[in-house]
Every structure is written in structure tokens, then in C-alpha cells.
Amino acid sequence: MNDSLDLGLKEKVAIIAGAGAKGDGIGNGRAAAILLAEAGAKVVVADKDQELAERTVQMISERNGHAVSVAADLTKAKDCEKVVEYALNHYGRLDVLDNNIGIASNLSVVEESEEYWERVMEINLKPMFLMSKYAIPAMISSGDGGSIVNISSISATRPKGLTTYSTSKGAVLSLTQAMAVDHGGEGIRVNCILPGPVYTPMVYASSSYLNQEGMSSEQRSQRQNASLLQIEGEGWDIGKAVVYLSSNWARYITGHLMVVDGGCSLSARARG
């Protein structure tokens, strides 16, 4: 292979924060974990739910990749520190961090409860701050720079009825660019992905998403039709963007806000 085509991920070590997914579903985090392992990285699958994390590890092992799971509540500083230490102790270095954790809300400020507002802010932002806080020094000491990918949402720039969620995801954009400025000189690239509607367990199996169980076929086709390409986004689409931004191919890219939405955010149609 032409060396310039090498993604440069072989022997690199990646932490995916929130790499579990319900059942055998392909969430954005699980997809990124599987694809990074297929690209040759050693993957630390961190999730508060050990069973979901272990299933991701099994899926990677079935594809002959290398991964370990760590159960951790990544809203807690000591758990974030533990995950980074685990990566260093187990694999000896750290190069990539995918900050994937997030929960949704579809209420207005009038309808939203104070408790749920605080929960969304805590889960959607704190793990990104804390994981980066411990990961960046570990990446620097590993000696080959590093890549952080923060998962936002197109709701950050096109809020349509997901007010608390949009606010938290907007903060992810600022956090990404501020971290890129602070740590570019240390060789750490920090980028952000803004996924559009993606058919993942988060949306089809979680009662916390849109405050309901499952998704009707009408809602599903509405999401699909929101894409200019008239195709449905998958966790794999987000995982592939994470691999690209983590790779050598993106060596000149930092502070970038990458929309991965099939053109949804260009369409005028409102989401349901």
C-alpha cells in the first residue's frame, strides 16, 4: 500500500466514551469502536453499563480486533481518571478519544423540569470535559500528539424543538474549538461531529429519547425523508467520520465542526 494511504491508526490506542449500545444495535459509539479496531487501533470501550460495553468488545473480538471494556460513570472525575489510567496500564499509551455520550430531550424551556435540564447538561457536557482533562496529558506523554472527537448534533445549529439538548450540543461546538486552540501547540487535534438523524438504539430503543418507547414507521420515514439524499443515517456513518478525524488523513484538521447528516440541515423541513 502507498504509505500516504495509511490511516496511521495501527498500534494506536483509542478510548471511546459511551461505546455501549442496547442489544446488538449499532450506536454511534459502538460503530466508532468497531471501525477504529478494524483500522488497527487498540480500543478501550468505556460505558456505565458493563454488559453493553462487553458486547461491543465481543463484536470487536469477533472481527479479530483488540479491545477491553471498563465500566465507568463518566460524569465522575475519578471514573474518568480510572479509564485513562486503564488505557495506559493495559495498552501503554493513548492517542484517540471519542467523546460520544449524550442523552436527548424534546421540551421547551417552559415544559422542561429543572432536574432534567441539569441531567442533560451533566451527561452531555461533563464527560467531555473530564475525559479530555485526563486524556490530554496522557496523549502528550505518549509522544505522538492526539486526536479528540466530540459528538454534537445538527440540533446545535438548527434547534427545532429539542431546546435543552440543542443548548448542550451548542456548548460542545465551543468546547471543541476552545480545546483546539488550547492544545494545538501540543499536537492535540480536537474536532467535532454534528450528526443528523441516525437510526441508533438511542433513538429506537430508549425511553429517554423523545420521552417515548420505540419509533413509529411514520417517524422513521420522516427522519429518512429529511435527508436530501433520502437515505437513513446509520451509526456506521458517524463511526467512519470518527475514524477519518482520528487518522493521519486529518493531520491538518483541527477545530473543525463536521456535519454528517445527508444534507438534512440544508432542508427547510422541520423534524418531528
Ligand X SMILES: NC(=O)c1ccc[n+]([C@@H]2O[C@H](COP(=O)([O-])OP(=O)(O)OC[C@H]3O[C@@H](n4cnc5c(N)ncnc54)[C@H](O)[C@@H]3O)[C@@H](O)[C@H]2O)c1
3-class secondary structure, 109: coil
Residue 162 interacting with ligand X (CB under 6 A): no
Q: Does 153 bind ligand X (CB under 6 A)?
A: yes
| Footprint of ligand X on 199-258 (CB under 6 A) | 200-203, 235
How far is residue 141 CA from its own chain's centroid?
Answer: 24
Compute the least distance from the CB of residue 150 to ligand X, in Å.
9
Contact status, residue 39 vs residue 240, Cβ threshold 8 Å: no
Amino acid letter for position 85: E
Q: Using the rule CB under 6 A, is 15 a contact of ligand X? A: no
Active-site residue set? 165
Site string for ligand X, 119-148 (x = CB under 6 A): ----x---x---------------------
Distance CA 148, CA 150 (A): 6
> Applying CB under 6 A, which part among 22-30, 35-43, 81-89, 241-249 lies near ligand X?
22-30
Q: Three-state DSSP class for 42?
A: strand
- Smallest gap from residue 14 Cβ to ligand X (A): 15
Q: Which of 48, 55, 189, 271 binds ligand X (CB under 6 A)?
A: 48
- Separation in Å, CA 7 to CA 70, 108, 116, 191, 262: 26, 43, 40, 17, 24
Q: Which residue among 74, 87, 120, 130 contacts ligand X (CB under 6 A)? A: 74
H-assigned helices in the chain: 28-38, 50-62, 77-91, 114-142, 163-183, 201-204, 217-225, 235-246
Q: Closer to ligand X at the Cβ: 9 or 203?
A: 203
Span interacting with ligand X, options 68-76, 140-148, 173-181, 251-259, rule CB under 6 A: 68-76
DSSP state of 161: S
Q: How far is CA 10 from CA 19, 49, 83, in A?
A: 20, 28, 21
Tell me the residue nearest to ligand X as measured from the CB.
Answer: 102
| Number of residues forming the site for ligand X (CB under 6 A) | 29
Stretch that binds ligand X, among 94-102, 106-114, 128-136, 182-190 (CB under 6 A): 94-102
Q: In whole angstroms, how close is the CB of 151 to ligand X at the nearest point? A: 4
Calpha distance 165→82 (Å, rounded):
28
Burial of 72 (0-12, 13-18, 19+ CB in 10 A): buried
Any contact of residue 20 with ligand X (CB under 6 A)?
yes
Footprint of ligand X on 167-206 (CB under 6 A): 195, 197-198, 200-203
